Amino acid sequence: MAELKPHSKPVEFIYRSGFPLQGLGLLALLLAPDAARLDSVWSAAGYLLIGTGVLLSGWLLQVYMPEVRLIVLGGAVTGCLLIVAAAFTGPEYLAPLGLGFVFVGSCGLGGKEAYCFRLKEGWYLMPVLVMLAVALLLQSAAGSPLVVTTILLALAAALQLSFSIRKYRMSYYGKCGQ
């Protein structure tokens, strides 16, 4: 397989910046009165930060299989479009559904980093984000915040921030499998 040329240090820094943005977005959703709705500054900021983080890292993602990058960016773009549609048209289920698609991209990024660089938080984030997406959809249907959503948000934020710290501590020019 052909060798991937590593990013320059500034580009790698920007790629890595998407991970703490996702963590800050999860923290913002944790502070929101109702994380499944876009009716507060905290929830809107959370959705914006998570989407921006996944799109930023997904755009600069380097993988041997282009299908992985397509899944990451496809999920993130689809999710962001659904979130924007929810903000302007109003169906409450669209925002958490869109965030679920964004989480597909986030899981792809975390899985790639877990596979290549042994960042185990990437593996742990996958089921947590899936459960969080389902909990947010259920919360939007119930019309009130659920305790399980708060627990999953706290767990996802802690894992994402730990993941981000470990990623920033890595050397800049590592290759997959190191």
- Confidence at residue 146, expressed as pLDDT on a 0 to 100 scale: 87
| CB-based burial label for 164 (10 Å; 0-12, 13-18, 19+) | buried
Average pLDDT for residues 151-170, to the nearest whole number? Answer: 95
% of the chain beyond a pLDDT of 90: 78
- Confidence at residue 117, expressed as pLDDT on a 0 to 100 scale: 87
Domain interval for residue 55: 9-166
Does residue 2 surpass a pLDDT of 60? Answer: no
Full DSSP string of 67-130: HHHHHHHHHHHHHHHHHHHHHHH--TTHHHHHHHHHHHHHHHHHHHHHHHH--THHHHHHHHHH
φ, ψ dihedrals at 172, nearest 5°: -80, -25
Tokens for 48, please give them. 């914006």
Residues whose CB is less than 8 angstroms from the CB of residue 112 and which lie 6 or more positions away in sequence, other chains included: 61, 63, 68, 122
Query: Is residue 175 assigned to a domain?
Result: no
- d(Cα 151, Cα 142) in Å, to the nearest integer? 17
- Total tally of structural domains belonging to the chain: 1
Average pLDDT for residues 110-124, to the nearest whole number? Answer: 92
Mean pLDDT for the chain overall: 92
Lowest mean pLDDT segment, chosen from 1-10, 81-90, 162-171: 1-10
Distance of CA 38 to the CA centre of its chain: 17
Query: Is residue 1 assigned to a domain?
Result: no
Query: Is residue 84 assigned to a domain?
Result: yes
Query: Is residue 176 assigned to a domain?
Result: no
- Confidence at residue 145, expressed as pLDDT on a 0 to 100 scale: 83
Query: Is residue 173 assigned to a domain?
Result: no
Query: Is residue 91 assigned to a domain?
Result: yes
Query: Is residue 171 assigned to a domain?
Result: no
Q: How far is CA 163 from CA 37, 64, 134, 136, in A?
A: 27, 22, 22, 23
Average pLDDT for residues 68-82, to the nearest whole number? Answer: 96
Most confident of 42-56, 130-144, 159-173: 42-56
- Confidence at residue 90, expressed as pLDDT on a 0 to 100 scale: 74
Does residue 48 surpass a pLDDT of 90? Answer: yes
Query: Is residue 53 assigned to a domain?
Result: yes
Lowest mean pLDDT segment, chosen from 88-92, 124-128, 149-153: 88-92
